[in-house]
């Protein structure tokens, strides 16, 4: 199995991109990634694209071919991969597999979602398709409601408080304020979060990630030739994916995501590393409680300690393990199919020392944690600079 | 790169499966494939599933996780792949890549679509998402209309006739009549086709493949250990995919699919074979004209000779190159995401000598040709028995 490196990375600004359609967003991010890798299009052997719900959001399937066409990449193969909010990371895994196997050498991987053209309730219904629509969505359990159930249980079992959750939002907005690509690049206060409108008790609007348009892309190459393209190749040490019951009521526990625990352990084993070896991480904070569970599931903190750790500032840029330096899904935004690739892009920038204004000191090894739905899919990647 | 073999294959009956939901169809096909491979579920390392439009057809995304759950496969990774009507073959390619790279050993690959729960006009609109929705579907160009344009041009350039196209339907129904899994296992006459209702001139209803529910599955393993599972492993000699402009009006030609030509050439090169070495093929006959173009694009007949060759019976079971022994999309049915895997299943059965009633004599090497949309994606696989 060949080792794989990222040789280029780029993303669009995240936000309400009224001026750009789905196709334009992909091209914008793709061209940035390809330009960053300093390659011409004819060097590219294949592409993968993660997007969750293009059929319902924009009436278009066959996304791989659409993108090959609009990126000017014909006749190379481009394939769409879907895994709800983990679509981007699943596309990244297919790209890694293609390079690792020797099927292809230079592979572009993208993620995209165009979500703001429809009303919030329609989009919420579409996102509900990431859970078990027959047993959850049809009965009214949209995603804020499902994560609210997890939050309530976490509060009961571990004494996690609404303020601890709010501290995650405050921290991620503080990080996002330093990221020019963020949808909400502004700091907020604890009071703002606590006084904001209740969505699904105990989650308030500032506990929730937004609806976002955006795209991100990376270029992969075999590690052994990566330095012929860039002085700063980023090696992908591990790529791990796991599944769990799609409906919350069928899971062993409501206070953690087993799929994330399994994928995390596998990723650490592959990289022969432990949580203490990770210098920073991008985790899937679709809701503030999700970040608290993530930092516990990955072993950065003991189960139950994620809330206090967040409250105490241990996950800030200057803390012991900076979490979501990009601003996370919360402040940077969450175009679902793009999120996994955006996490990879942020890891690349941090490991190259290019995360202006939010650079983690001595960043050597980074991790990304991307979740599909309420945790039925989890994907963990670990990255290293040279 | 490790060589890959198919060690198990199975499919559901295709048709209007009112009694089974999407989930049940997948489980039915998956269990058949796994049972056929004589393995227990705990031997499986990963899964891939091809489905085109589950979001719009059944309101459900996150299909990989759903299937891991309902197949009892948690926590192994299962990933959904989408490429319109070529979704099944793209899933197969990801499975091959995963085994070839060494990421996984035993991989299950499935394809599924549940289409008959909605009205025909709604489904036609959804299928239009496989073309360029902004430039084709929104202007009324559904798939029968797009293929009718290709048919008209083929008639003009090469003298192809409506009777030649009809002969494809007659032949595929004759083959399908021998296939117990076929949606329409009955013979039809040339008169029936010619007198049937016009859908999009010159294509009549019997020139079109139907709307279908169904699923199919195969189990992959590294070739070097395949014989420990089955006496008749089927080696996958090549897997090739290519892209072309998504909208018909942007293509170089309307009388052939360039993506199929490119993928076919690549597949032959990988296998070090020529069209004359192929003993039989399953090709993508979503419309009768599509089969005529396919047998030309793959090099079985010269461009323009596909119509006369079909009319003369050269593609029948006893002809020089039997095409669509399963009955093809036309008679066996076309649950879009399942079609690519069903083609692989038919190739496995033929190469094992298990295609009861429709067995190709001395079948040694088979080929499958799966098309996404009107030809923006094409995938060709070549298979060999020992």
Kindly provide the b/e burial profile for residues B226-259, where b requires at least 16 CB atoms within 10 angstroms of the residue's own CB: beebbebbbbbbbbbbbbbbbbbeebeebbbbbb
User: Do B155 and B165 form a contact (C-beta atoms < 8 A)?
Assistant: no
Give the confidence band of B37 by pLDDT, cuts at 50, 70, 90: very high
Tell me the percentage of chain B whose pLDDT exceeds 70: 100
Give residue-wise pLDDT tens across range A333-380: 999 999 999 999 999 999 999 999 999 999 999 999 999 999 999 999
Segment holding B27, helix H or strand E: helix B22-36
Query: Considering A173, A175, A334, A381, which one is annotated as catalytic?
Result: A334
Closest CA to A34 of A5, A12, A10, A67: A10
Q: What is the pLDDT of residue A78?
A: 98
Give residue-wise pLDDT tens across range A244-271: 999 999 999 999 999 999 999 999 999 9
Could you tell me the maximum CA-CA distance found in chain A, to the nearest angstrom?
Answer: 56
A254 at interface of B, judged by CB pairs closer than 8 A: no
**Which of B55, B74, B103 faces A55 most closely, judged by CB atoms?**
B55
Rounded distance, CA A330 to CA A288, Å? 8
Token pair for A103 = 């099927």
- Rg, chain A, Cα only: 19
Q: What is the pLDDT of residue A1?
A: 87
Give residue-wise pLDDT tens across range A68-117: 999 999 999 999 999 999 999 999 999 999 999 999 999 999 999 999 99
Give the confidence band of B386 by pLDDT, cuts at 50, 70, 90: confident
What's the whole-number average pLDDT of chain A?
A: 97
Q: How far is A226 from chain B, CA to nearest CA, in Å?
A: 19
Q: Measured between beta carbons, which residues in chain A are less than 8 angstroms from residue B242?
A: 74-77
Give residue-wise pLDDT tens across range B165-210: 999 999 999 999 999 999 999 999 999 999 999 999 999 999 999 9
Angle at A90 between CA B371 and CA A44, to 5 degrees: 60
This prediction has a pTM of: 0.97
Count A/B contacts: CB-CB distance under 8 Å. 209
Rounded distance, CA B358 to CA A38, Å? 54
Rounded distance, CA A272 to CA B103, Å? 16
B371 at interface of A, judged by CB pairs closer than 8 A: no
- CB–CB of B65 and A56 under 8 A? no
Residue to mutate among A55, A58, A61, A107, with most B CBs inside 10 A, is: A61
Question: Would strands A377-384 and A365-372 be described as parallel, antiparallel, or unpaired?
Answer: antiparallel
Closest CA to B258 of B242, B274, B273, B239: B242
Give residue-wise pLDDT tens across range A126-166: 999 999 999 999 999 999 999 999 999 999 999 999 999 99
Query: B67: nearest CA in chain A?
Result: A246
- Which positions ≥6 away from A195 have C-beta within 8 Å? none
User: Do B94 and A82 form a contact (C-beta atoms < 8 A)?
Assistant: no
Give residue-wise pLDDT tens across range A190-206: 999 999 999 999 999 99
3-state secondary structure B289-339: HHHHHHHHHCCCCCCCCHHHHHHCCCCCCCCCCCECCCCHHHHHCCCHHHH
Token pair for B141 = 């160009």
Rounded distance, CA A151 to CA A166, Å? 12
Q: How far is A135 from chain B, CA to nearest CA, in Å?
A: 11
Is 0.95 exceeded by the ipTM? yes
3-state secondary structure B114-182: CCCCCCHHHHHHHHHHHCCCCCCHHHCCCHHHHHHHHHHHHHHHHCCCHHHHHHHHHHHHHHHCCCCCC
Rounded distance, CA B22 to CA A255, Å? 30
- CB–CB of B74 and A243 under 8 A? yes
Give residue-wise pLDDT tens across range B68-95: 999 999 999 999 999 999 999 999 999 9
Token pair for A180 = 């020019």
Report chain A's terminal Cα–Cα distance, integer Å: 20
Segment holding A48, helix H or strand E: strand A46-50
Give the confidence band of A290 by pLDDT, cuts at 50, 70, 90: very high
B77 at interface of A, judged by CB pairs closer than 8 A: yes
Rounded distance, CA B86 to CA A68, Å? 15
Look at the alpha carbons of B35, B39, B40, B46 in this order and tell me if their dihedral is positive or negative. Answer: negative
Give helix then strand counts, H and E, for chain A. Answer: 14, 11
Give residue-wise pLDDT tens across range B303-315: 999 999 999 999 9
Token pair for B31 = 């269990």
Q: What is the pLDDT of residue B1?
A: 87
Rounded distance, CA A384 to CA A368, Å? 12
Token pair for B86 = 């070529």
User: Do A111 and A87 form a contact (C-beta atoms < 8 A)?
Assistant: yes
- Whether A386 has a pLDDT exceeding 90, the answer reads no
- DSSP one-letter code for A361: T
Neighbours of B337 (CB within 10 A): 34
**Is the backbone of residue A59 left (phi > 0), alpha (psi -120 to 50) or beta?**
left
Residue to mutate among B50, B60, B66, with most A CBs inside 10 A, is: B66
Rounded distance, CA B136 to CA A62, Å? 14
- DSSP one-letter code for B276: G
Which are the catalytic amino acids of B? 85, 334
- Which positions ≥6 away from A269 have C-beta within 8 Å? A238
User: Do A178 and A349 form a contact (C-beta atoms < 8 A)?
Assistant: no
Q: How far is A9 from chain B, CA to nearest CA, in Å?
A: 23
Interface of B with A in 136-175 (CB under 8 A): 137
A368 φ/ψ angles, rounded to the nearest 5 degrees: -125, 145
What's the whole-number average pLDDT of chain B?
A: 97
User: Do A214 and A17 form a contact (C-beta atoms < 8 A)?
Assistant: yes
Look at the alpha carbons of B41, B43, B49, B55 in this order and tell me if their dihedral is positive or negative. Answer: positive
Q: How far is B305 from chain A, CA to nearest CA, in Å?
A: 25
- DSSP one-letter code for B53: -
- CB–CB of A79 and B81 under 8 A? yes
B54: β partners: none
A335 at interface of B, judged by CB pairs closer than 8 A: no
């Amino acid at each position: 199995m060949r080792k794989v490196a990222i040789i280029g990375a780029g993303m669009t600004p995240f936000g309400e991109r009224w001026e750009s359609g789905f196709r334009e967003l992909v091209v914008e991010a793709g061209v940035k990634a390809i330009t960053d890798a300093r390659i011409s299009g004819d060097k590219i052997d294949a592409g993968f694209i993660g997007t969750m719900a293009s059929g319902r959001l924009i009436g278009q399937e066959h996304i791989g071919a659409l993108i090959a066409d609009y990126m000017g990449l014909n006749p190379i193969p481009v394939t769409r991969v879907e895994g709800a909010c983990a679509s981007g990371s699943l596309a990244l895994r297919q790209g890694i597999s293609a390079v690792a196997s020797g099927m292809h050498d230079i592979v572009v991987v993208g993620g995209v979602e165009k979500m703001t053209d429809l009303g919030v309730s329609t989009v919420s219904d579409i996102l509900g398709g990431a859970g078990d629509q027959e047993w959850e969505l049809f009965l009214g359990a949209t995603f804020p409601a499902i994560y609210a159930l997890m939050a309530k249980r976490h509060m009961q079992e571990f004494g996690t408080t609404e303020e601890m959750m709010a501290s995650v939002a405050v921290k991620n907005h503080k990080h996002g304020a330093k990221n020019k690509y963020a949808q909400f690049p502004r700091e907020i206060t604890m009071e703002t979060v606590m006084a904001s409108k209740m969505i699904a008790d105990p989650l308030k609007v500032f506990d929730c990630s937004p609806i976002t348009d955006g795209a991100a892309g990376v270029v992969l190459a075999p590690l052994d030739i990566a330095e012929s393209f860039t002085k700063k190749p980023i090696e992908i040490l591990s790529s791990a994916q796991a599944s769990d019951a799609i409906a919350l009521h069928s899971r062993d526990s409501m206070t953690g995501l087993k799929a994330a625990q399994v994928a995390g352990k596998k990723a650490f084993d592959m990289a022969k590393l432990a949580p203490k070896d990770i210098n920073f991480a991008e985790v899937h904070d679709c809701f503030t409680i999700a970040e608290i569970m993530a930092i516990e599931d990955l072993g950065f903190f003991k189960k139950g300690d994620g809330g206090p750790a967040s409250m105490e500032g241990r996950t800030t840029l200057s803390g012991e393990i900076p979490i979501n330096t990009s601003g996370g899904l919360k402040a940077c935004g969450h175009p679902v199919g793009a999120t996994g690739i955006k996490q990879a892009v942020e890891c690349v920038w941090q490991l190259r020392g290019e995360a202006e204004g939010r650079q983690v000191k001595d960043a050597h090894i980074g991790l990304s944690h991307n979740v599909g739905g309420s945790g039925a899919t989890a994907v963990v990647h670990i990255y290293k600079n040279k």
